[in-house]
Amino acid sequence: MSESHRALAHQFDDLEQQAEAATLGIWAFLITEILFFGGLFTGYAVYRTNYPQAFAEASHHLDILLGGINTVVLIGSSFTMALAVHAAQSGKRRALIAFLLATMLLGAIFLGIKVVEYSHKFVDHLVPGRTFTFPGAYAPQAQLFFSFYFAMTGMHAVHMIIGLAILSVLVGRAWRNRFSAIYFAPVEVTGLYWHFVDIVWIFLFPLLYLIGRH
């Protein structure tokens, strides 16, 4: 790396230092994300400990099969994202584009299944608001559960959509051959973001879908 790379910003000594700064930068962002979702999880913890019975009953109205499939789909997309970073590290342009597209496809499948789940909730009147009806003793508390459900999975879905937008930009840049074995920091950083969104779902799935199933 003796000669200057065109992607090297002037404030960095070399690409390695630039990549390290990029990694720390995205982690600083992810810390704010941990605390952003952490606030939602804390609110969830408070109300679930207050109304454990109502939360368990409300959880039964979520589709465990669709939620489970989505978990597998999202973990699969993390796997293809990791392979995309690996392809970028190895300087394999075609593999990079293929794995980025595979990640986008799996992300889109996740969102599609989410749309199906949401539409079921609208049909069943389980969306918080004036039409909310819950067959059980704890209707107001169940409405609280569904408020958390829509806020948490909704914010998660927004992060997925942003991730898909970033991935599509990466595909375009990979297509124009902007990445190489010595410069692939944008792919790596996007991967870190994508894996974080996966982690949020890893917690959302058991906490929303799997409570009180026995």
Partner 1 sequence: MSHPTVSPKLYFLVFATLLILTGVTVSVAYIDLGPLNTVVALTIAGCKTLLVILYFMHVRYSSRLTWVFAGVGFLWLAILMAFTMSDMRTRSWQPAPSGWTTASASWRADVPEP
Kindly state whether residue 198 participates in binding partner 1, applying the rule CB under 8 A.
Answer: yes
CB atoms within 10 A of CB 106: 20
Of positions 64, 116, 165, 166, contacts partner 1 by CB under 8 A: 64
53 binds partner 1 (CB under 8 A): yes
- What DSSP string describes 134-150? -SSS-HHHHHHHHHHHH
Taking CB atoms within 8 Å and a gap of at least 24, the contacts of 91-99 are: 91/180, 91/181, 93/174, 93/177, 93/179, 96/174, 96/179, 96/187, 97/171, 97/174, 97/175
Residue 133 in contact with partner 1, rule: CB under 8 A = no
Pairwise CA distance, residues 56 & 60, whole Å = 7
Q: How many residues does this entry show for the chain?
A: 214
Interface of this chain with partner 1, residues 104 to 123, rule: CB under 8 A: none
How many residues belong to the site for partner 1 (CB under 8 A)?
Answer: 60
Residue number, 74 or 157, with CB nearest to partner 1: 74
75 binds partner 1 (CB under 8 A): yes
Site residues, partner 1 (CB under 8 A):
15-16, 19-20, 23-24, 27-28, 30-31, 34-35, 38-39, 41-42, 45-46, 49-54, 64, 68, 71-72, 75-76, 78-79, 81-83, 86, 89-90, 137-140, 182, 184, 188, 191-192, 195-196, 198-199, 202-203, 205-207, 210-211, 213-214
